[in-house]
Structure 1
């Protein structure tokens, strides 16, 4: 694998973005992650980065740089020490600036944490979330065409159901893109249920079918 300087030398745009994190935030380590690191990026894909600096508050730098969208999280060193489980989003990432090897270790720690099951919720909390799904569905059913709160709860329920699918099954939730990819490969019926319920104008009965599928554990 090429070292950091070789990677940056062969990609001027990446070097430009890394320089932004170094000069603006004082980062000494930069990890590129997401679709750009995994080789699955489209031309319009964001540049997802994690910048590590010696100290300071955690912050976010999201903006256009030379026509591309930079989405960078900036954290102090203390936040990444033995904290791989908190940085699962950098899985498969590439430490493009890593003079001390801190970025590579974080990527390895994230991979190790991902290989373990997530910390489970107490049974009472699981039951509370299951009851919440049915309560939300009932409120959606009672709403009429002009009931803005019912419309809001519809969106809220649909948004949360994807993560709940994985929570109820003791699996890591890795965001919508990877989750739908996993469902398409491993649970095609659930993928179809999400596809139907998320379609514009889907009837409540279709959303109910999705709730039943998510709670079917």
Structure 2
């Protein structure tokens, strides 16, 4: 029987690389994408679909999490809150979506149990966690413990974070090594046509490409 990995995939660079790394390790990919009423929902979904095609994914889930809109409290899900473009923010950024990764991991755990998958892959990067509490390695490991306590005795799930200690430039380099289709990925928090280039996510991405000495293949304003 094939070993399976449930890969949480946003359509972004980090989670796409994570899925490619799992495939390289011999896992059959069960791809999971969440529509949570984020500003770039349609673009992220189309990127996810395109990446799944490249990976020859046979089993995929696209889950509607529109309740995040009712929750609000984040610039990603509430159109009345501006996405910051100055790059200067102290504490938890306004783009943090309350407990998003915890909710995503809970859903991924349900899918992993159904699919008899031994691994959940998530593309968290500690470099992001200065602002996002749900990207910390210690947090993800505690979620792994909770998931295994709350599932069947024979269910034993490992949450893998292949990028957690990498810098964005290393993520770009690793993506190039594995022929990851970076032109199909999206990072911008604001736009769906051309990336803004000034939100935190675009800045991180562009700086990663710059330090890696290569040109980002997506279009910017």
Q: Do they fold alike, i.e. is TM over 0.5?
A: no
Q: Which has the higher contact order (CA 8 A, sep 6+)?
A: 2
TM-score, normalising length from structure 2? 0.23
| Structure with the largest fraction of strand | 1
| Structure with the largest fraction of helix | 1
